[in-house]
Structure 1
């Protein structure tokens, strides 16, 4: 549980991550490489006094995950991979500031995109928000997963089960794991002062995934589009505080 000055430091780390994500979103355009994104995250994080939490994490070779089109998560930036008009891309930023971590992601549309792309981005955003809406002291982890899964299913989409949200604080990933599928009334109870992420990965097709030979990049098994949005949350007595909120900025840059 976090309180007092620890919460304030988590707020600062989370706002730093959110600011970097918004900055990256403003620069995305056809022709930009995912390697460019990695360099921009490195530079912007340093300008904000932080360090990229992802760099070197279990050997991850970059400062940010860049997951394009059918990539579900953990896409590795590459100078040869360039964004094209019609792409969607998730940019996942985590910042270590003063020993505390903030984690956030958004899926951006590159120019005009297909109706399917627009739909999966919209559903993924709403699934994240549905999960957040049930977070409060005394709620259970299964309540979050059920809310997300119910909405995705209603929209004819699926939720990836192998990856979930997580606790966060002095480390980027801590217990508990926050599943994005589940049954209401199950799982551990949330307590005021807990800090977690909600970050559902939603597929236009089936939920099955596979990992590419690089050992990191996760793609949809059927090649369908996937999208994700993430916030870091502080659980409170009557709901939660979204520590990485910066929606007025992001909304200008997410074309979908």
Structure 2
């Protein structure tokens, strides 16, 4: 899925290639906004999928997820205890208080953008809102480690440290989901290397100007992180039913600091 390591640095993209990736990423950002606006009580995740596919295709892009290893949707729609890879459809009806995680990708002129966003339908319970705020903050803090000369696990470690800070700040227990994380991205949606959401610093390939990673913390409320995959072979849920939050940006290393290639209007 992620290929194999062939060298000790994460591939550098040219300035023009980064601009091309951002063009794809901007379509993803606009799509996430539209999907959030459509996520009202009574809507189905299938409705959200239709909104996403239409917007992506109208922009001249291709939904990255649709058909990827057989995945049937243009988005992953993960509600409440679903951590990742939820399949959109007519049977999942949104209710007030649901926490919805939408993962979305688009291909434009051969370049990929990939981003995820979690939000509430109506008002979230206070502890669930804290989980979601914390996950966003962990992404924002983890991105700051995308600096020339840093190593891959410096980003992993920054995400882990940010998670523990967020626990104290919000007064909740947070579990880091094992086995899932970020990845390289470019001409393929999933490229080497895999980026864990925790780990010791100073290990793995080195980052250089132009290196790009999709950074995506996934946190569970309550600290328990056991998951299982449903019979559809995609949907990953928490074993104890705890809610999960997932945030992601495609981020480039530049001399001026991290550059988000999937901005949201």
Query: How far apart are 1:238 and its partner, in Å?
Result: 4.3
**C-alpha distance in structure 2 between counterparts of 1:77 and 1:181, whole Å:** 29
1:56 aligns with 2:74: no
CA contact (8 A) 1:137 1:238 kept: no
Identify the match of residue 125 of structure 1 among 136, 150, 161.
136
Unaligned runs of 5+ in 2: 1-11, 168-172
Identify the match of residue 31 of structure 1 among 30, 35, 42.
42
**C-alpha distance in structure 1 between counterparts of 2:17 and 2:158, whole Å:** 30
Identify the match of residue 80 of structure 1 among 91, 97, 100.
91
1:224 aligns with 2:259: no
Which segments of structure 1 move beyond 3 Å, counting only runs of 4 or more? none
Q: If the length of structure 2 is used for normalisation, what is the TM-score?
A: 0.90
Q: If the length of structure 1 is used for normalisation, what is the TM-score?
A: 0.93
Q: Which residue of 1 aligns with 2:197?
A: 180
Q: Which residue of 1 aligns with 2:257?
A: 239
1:196 aligns with 2:213: yes
Query: How far apart are 1:36 and its partner, in Å?
Result: 0.4
**C-alpha distance in structure 2 between counterparts of 1:218 and 1:183, whole Å:** 26
1:3 aligns with 2:14: yes
1:106 aligns with 2:124: no
Unaligned runs of 5+ in 1: 250-256
CA contact (8 A) 1:195 1:235 kept: yes
**C-alpha distance in structure 2 between counterparts of 1:138 and 1:222, whole Å:** 40
CA contact (8 A) 2:18 2:261 kept: no
- Equivalent residue pairs, number: 247
**C-alpha distance in structure 1 between counterparts of 2:60 and 2:156, whole Å:** 34
Q: Which residue of 2 aligns with 1:165?
A: 182
Name the Cα RMSD after superposition. Answer: 1.1
Q: Deviations over 1:25-63 (max 9, x none)?
A: 122110110000111111000111101000111111111
CA contact (8 A) 2:142 2:162 kept: no
